[in-house]
């Protein structure tokens, strides 16, 4: 993939609201994730993407933030999206304080060390990601059997659907994960502090 | 699919900006497309969805509005999304003033009566929709050979990706197309005027 | 597809029995469906095709004529056969007096507004069309549970199998549906009479 | 598969033309192939099936009889149709006087000891059998490059399509090949003659 | 496939232990199976391959030798491995004294004349061969329901896995079955004795 | 997956040659990889597996040790084998002194930062892993164009084939990677040394 096809913009060239957003992220994370820089080339799409992402990932609801990231990592693994697997794998490890969970979910979610409820959640998410044409009442009943409501089902489906979009975009425009993501959440705190 | 699982909201219950949007659409089209009512249950997602849609479908660029709808109809056919095939098929017929094109693209885009350039556009869009992991330089070169720029490629990919999301959401929450869509753009004007 | 590869014969050049058949169809429908003209190039295949079609679609039995066309439209959609989806979609709309049913079945039969019995019928037909190697006793028991006999199962399978052939032939020789089919059965009678 | 689901009819119970046909086959082959007995349960379908089969397999044309059977065996292998693989494998071995060819084509046609022209023929036939939606001008040009005409292409496609039907029917109604077929054409004449 | 790509070694050029093995096989079978000659080009791989094969296929355990060959033939058919289907089909016919079983299992194991227990065994083996990522507790419970132990499950899986390797290797290096295999076990003893 | 289904043996219960092998590995790596313990339950299979592995991975030849591990990680990713992706990902990072390469190859080998020669090597390996039935002369010519010999092709194929087996076995018997593997090769030396 020719990495110069969609060159990253300079911070100075960006609209103020987007530049502010990028600087805020940089302050918090220590670096600017490539997805933000890549999408910032197109301000309207950037704003809609970030707005949609936040509406799904940061809202209150029946799923924990870690569980939402589980959906992202498992479905992104199935879509072979390098950027999303590595970047959201890092976030998932941190949320769950579990250095192994992201590799498990990205490689084969069925073998991951998760609860039966989370297994049902991912089973539904994977069907939305890979075979949504066949989703039917039976699938909702399976979710209900594990305590999920219909609104939870919408949340799960919306996250799987949003990353169906995100995975395809990242795969096509050649987005590479920042190297920092690969290690985040893998090393115990005291070791890093060493 | 249990149609009461995600009941449609009443107009009165909606935030003012969303209600205004729905009324404007109703005035223009004569009815409110179900996707707007279904998504209005969740105002933040509604706003992000509409914002993203408009950023991709209404902007200036190297693709005509009709060509953008071709991408929607062809990829939605491949994803078996009833709502998107029927609703966007109607819009496509109207844009292209062609009563046959939507059925052709939704059923088998390869046999549709389109230009070689549009065939190349849809070939790229379908790869983004169905096998984005394998998109590579060769695919971009094919687009260039038909006069598309890299920014056009981003447009094509972004539309295919956005409807990858939209198709999965509509398939999962059981969105049915308004009956009006099935006939729109099929009957010549003077005949309707009878 | 080069439309001149298999040029349509003139009526005068055809054997008398085939010409009579075509004229009879023209009188009834107002036009000669392209499948008849295309196949008439090869009289023996024409006669066998029409004989087989009529033996399956016009006979008495446990399936209504509309239900048989449902099988044709759903399986032809899965095989992406433009000719069969559009032509048989028209016939289905007329038989069922339902302007929406063909688009529903061709795009995603699972979401169509049909009875549970018809859903079971199509589930069996789709397995015959797409994965006949795996048909087993369980599939027959599902049909029995909805009141179908083994002879009905044969009917369903034979129709799905016949159009597996027909779809492949139409896809390969480049058969395009007559424009008339796209609109048939979509406009209420009184409106057309306008 | 419950073998009594579609019991074979007695010869006496059949219409005279079908009984005559079965007796003629028995005289020639030494036994009545199960496909004839199974289909004879439904005289109209029997006549159409046999008429179609003979129109495709016995006519003059650019393909030898052995080459037509190659198409049957290779596509039936891909469709996992036990009856067609075994019965037509026997016919193929006899036509080609080659005891190995049927096992090769049924298991992996790409590794069979055939000519490049036959390889091109089977490549086209397999695309018709497995992915007819994507057949395009390029496929016809490949055939032309090996000396096939467009009418030959129709022959190849029609045979692959007819057995797409036949395979699905045999798979569904549980047709088992007569034991005699397994050995036919495998033993050199003088050895059998002892 | 260029048959000279990996030329067979002469017996004289081989290490003594491998030459002895080949001569022993020749004495017993009357010919040297091509897999032995092809692999003998690489003595270390030959020894490991034969050692692994014998550890799985010749050991004591809950599966008969014929049942182990059933796994080989069914999974090799699914992997389209000509060498393994033909060579192990011969061995299976001899072990089971059944001239039809190999063609049945290689073409469509679901239609073969086997016991329900053998059907469960092959269902598990096919999942290991084709979709091992999804093997779960449910699959083991199905085996237990037919009297298999967990150690039997390991045996089934290990054989399916070993031939997943073997099939890929034979497919890639162009291994053709010896002609003798095609007929072995098909002709009744007394007939051969003529 | 019930982790007690195939309990790990105690070191004392193992044959001496296997115990020695495990102790040697433990000394070198600091822990005993689970694959060794799991397979040690069956000494004959252990010896054949290790012998085959070493014959392919440790021999001299046209591929570097790092390149061999690239084949393992990419094909194991495609087979969703958690154990092999994580364990061999660690070895690959160490061999290549590259903390990012394993995540890239396991998620989407096409986007990895590798040479064109390595890309051709993996393209061949993936075809062997996923579609070996279709490997043909064209694939070998592609390898030759990048400087690989036919013997190199055998090496690539044999490694992909061996891990086709290994992946299926690990997926089925529920092998989990040792936690140590997840971090190995990710942290720069001086950082670890703190």
Residues in F touching A1 (Cβ below 8 Å): 111
Please give the structure tokens belonging to residue B35.
């996707």
Residue F191 has pLDDT above 80, yes or no: no
* Mean pLDDT (whole number) for B23-39: 94
CB contact (8 A) between residue F99 and residue A1 = no
- What is the pLDDT at residue F189? 62
Helix (H) or strand (E) segment spanning residue D137: helix D137-145
Q: Structure tokens of D72?
A: 């049957």
Q: CA F96, CA F64: separation in Å to the nearest integer?
A: 10
Give the C-alpha separation, B136 to B128, whole Å.
11
Copy the structure tokens of residue A123: 């089973």
Largest Cα separation within chain B, whole Å, is 53
Mutate to test the interface with A, among B164, B166, B167 (most CBs of A within 10 A): B164
pLDDT at res. E116: 98
- F73 vs F125: CA distance, rounded Å: 11
Asked if D48 and C52 count as a contact pair (C-beta separation under 8 A), the reply is yes
Give the whole-angstrom CA distance, residue E162 versus residue E59.
15
From its phi and psi, is residue F59 left (phi > 0), alpha (psi between -120 and 50) or beta?
beta
Percent of all residues in chain E with a pLDDT value above 70, rounded to a whole number = 95
Is A110 in Cβ contact with E136 (below 8 Å)?
Answer: yes
pLDDT at F61 over 80: yes
Cα Rg, chain D, nearest whole Å: 17
Cβ-based contacts of F98 with chain A (< 8 Å): none
What ranges in E79-149 are assigned the alpha helix state H?
A: 82-96, 101-108, 116-131, 137-145
Say yes or no to pLDDT of F4 above 90.
Answer: no
Q: State whether C107 and B182 contact (CB < 8 Å).
A: no
Query: Average pLDDT over chain B, rounded to whole?
Result: 94
Nearest CA of chain E to the CA of F53: how many Å? 9
- As to burial, measured by CB atoms within 10 angstroms (0-12 exposed, 13-18 middle, 19+ buried), residue C120 is buried
Q: Which residues of B touch A (CB under 8 A)?
A: 1-2, 5-6, 42, 44-45, 47-49, 51-52, 55-56, 59, 79-81, 128-129, 132-133, 135-137, 140, 150, 153-154, 157-158, 160-162, 164-169, 171-173
The span from the CA of A94 to the CA of E165, in Å, is 39
Q: Which pLDDT score, from 0 to 100, does residue B164 have? A: 98
Whether B and C touch (3+ CB pairs < 8 Å), yes or no? yes
Q: In chain B, which residues have their Cβ closer than 8 Å to the Cβ of A136?
A: 1
Question: What confidence score (pLDDT) does residue D47 get?
Answer: 97
Q: Does C100 sit within 8 Å of B107, measured CB to CB?
A: no
Q: Which residues from F are below 8 Å from B when comparing CB atoms?
A: 108, 110
Does residue A3 register a pLDDT over 80?
no
Confidence class for position A85, pLDDT limits 50, 70, 90: very high
- In the prediction, which pLDDT does B4 show? 76
In this complex, the chains that touch B, judged by 3 or more CB pairs closer than 8 A, are A, C, D, F
- CA-to-CA distance for B152 and D73, rounded, in angstroms? 46
DSSP-assigned letter for residue F177: -
Tens digits of per-residue pLDDT, F126-167? 999 999 999 999 999 999 999 999 999 999 999 999 999 999
The confidence score (pLDDT) of residue B190 equals 54
Mutate to test the interface with A, among F82, F167, F177, F179 (most CBs of A within 10 A): F82
Residues of chain F contacting residue E158, judged by C-beta atoms under 8 Å apart:
45, 169
Half-sphere exposure of F11 (CA within 13 A, CB side): 10
CA distance D81 to D73: 9
Q: What pLDDT is attached to residue F3?
A: 58
**Tens digits of residue pLDDT in A29-80:** 999 999 999 999 999 999 999 999 999 999 889 999 999 999 999 999 999 9
Question: Is there a contact between E147 and E140 (Cβ–Cβ < 8 Å)?
Answer: no
CB contact under 8 Å between D82 and E103, yes or no, is yes
Q: Does B168 contact A154 at a Cβ distance shorter than 8 Å?
A: no
**Confidence at residue A191, expressed as pLDDT on a 0 to 100 scale:** 53
pLDDT of residue A190: 54
Contact yes or no for E123/E143 (Cβ under 8 A): no
Proportion of chain B above pLDDT 70, given as a percent: 95
Backbone φ and ψ for D92, nearest 5 degrees, come out as -60, -45
Chains that touch E (3 or more CB pairs under 8 A): A, C, D, F
Please give the average per-residue pLDDT across E184-190, as a whole number: 81
Does pLDDT of E128 surpass 90?
yes
Q: Which residues of E touch A105 (CB under 8 A)?
A: none
pLDDT given for residue A189 in this prediction = 62
For F132, name the nearest residue in chain D, comparing CA atoms only: D108
Q: Is A136 left (phi over 0), alpha (psi -120 to 50) or beta?
A: beta
What is the overall mean pLDDT for chain F?
Answer: 94
- Who wins on pLDDT, C188 or A164? A164
Q: Which helix (H) or strand (E) holds D65?
A: helix D65-78
Residue in A115, A118, A124 with CA at minimum distance from that of residue A142:
A124
User: Which of the 8 DSSP states describes residue A190?
Assistant: H
Mean pLDDT of B5-17: 93
Q: Where are the beta strands (DSSP E) in chain D?
A: none
CB-hemisphere CA count at 13 Å for B124?
Answer: 33
User: From chain F, which residues contact D within 8 Å (Cβ)?
Assistant: 133-134, 136
Whether pLDDT at A139 is above 90: yes
Which chain F residue's Cα is nearest to E149?
Answer: F5
Distance CA(D126)–CA(D105), nearest Å, equals 11
What letters, b where the CB count within 10 A reaches 16 and e where it falls short, cover D149-159?
A: eeebbbbbbbb
In whole angstroms, give the CA distance from residue C194 to residue C190: 6
Give the model confidence (pLDDT) of C54-111 as tens digits: 999 998 899 999 999 999 999 999 999 999 999 999 999 999 999 999 999 999 999 9
The full 3-state SS of chain B, as one line of letters, equals CCCCCCCCCCHHHCCHHHHHHHHHHHHHHCCCCHHHHHHHCCHHHHHHHHHHHHHHHCCCCCCCHHHHHHHHHHHHHHCCCHHHHHHHHHHHHHHHCCCCHHHHHHHHHHHCCCCHHHHHHHHHHHHHHHHHHHCCHHHHHHHHHCCCCHHHHHHHHHHHHHHHHHHHHHHHHCCCCCHHHHHCCCCCHHHHHC
C176 to each of B93, B114, B148, C101, C173, how far by Cα in Å?
18, 14, 29, 21, 9
ipTM over 0.90: yes
User: Tokens representing C59?
Assistant: 């006979």
* Under 8 Å between Cβ of F125 and F112: no
CA distance A158 to chain C (A): 19
CB B108 to CB D133 under 8 A?
Answer: yes
Q: How confident is the model at residue C189 (pLDDT cuts 50, 70, 90)?
A: low
């Amino acid at each position: 993939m020719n990495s110069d096809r969609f060159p990253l913009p300079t911070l100075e060239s960006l609209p103020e609201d987007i530049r502010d957003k990028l600087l805020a992220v940089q302050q918090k994370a220590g670096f600017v994730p490539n997805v933000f820089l890549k999408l910032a080339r197109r301000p309207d799409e950037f704003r809609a993407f970030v707005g949609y992402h936040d509406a799904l990932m940061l809202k209150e609801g029946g799923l924990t933030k870690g569980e939402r990231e589980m959906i992202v990592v498992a479905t992104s693994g199935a879509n072979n999206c390098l950027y999303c697997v590595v970047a959201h794998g890092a976030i998932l490890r941190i949320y769950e304080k579990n250095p192994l969970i992201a590799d498990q979910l990205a490689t084969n979610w069925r073998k991951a060390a998760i609860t039966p409820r989370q297994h049902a959640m991912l089973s539904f998410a994977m069907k939305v990601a890979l075979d949504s044409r066949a989703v039917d009442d039976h699938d909702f009943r399976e979710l209900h059997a594990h305590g999920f409501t219909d609104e939870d089902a919408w949340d799960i489906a919306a996250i799987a659907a949003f990353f169906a979009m995100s995975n395809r975009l990242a795969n096509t425009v050649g987005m590479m994960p920042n190297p920092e993501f690969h290690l985040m959440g893998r090393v115990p705190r005291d070791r890093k502090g060493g």
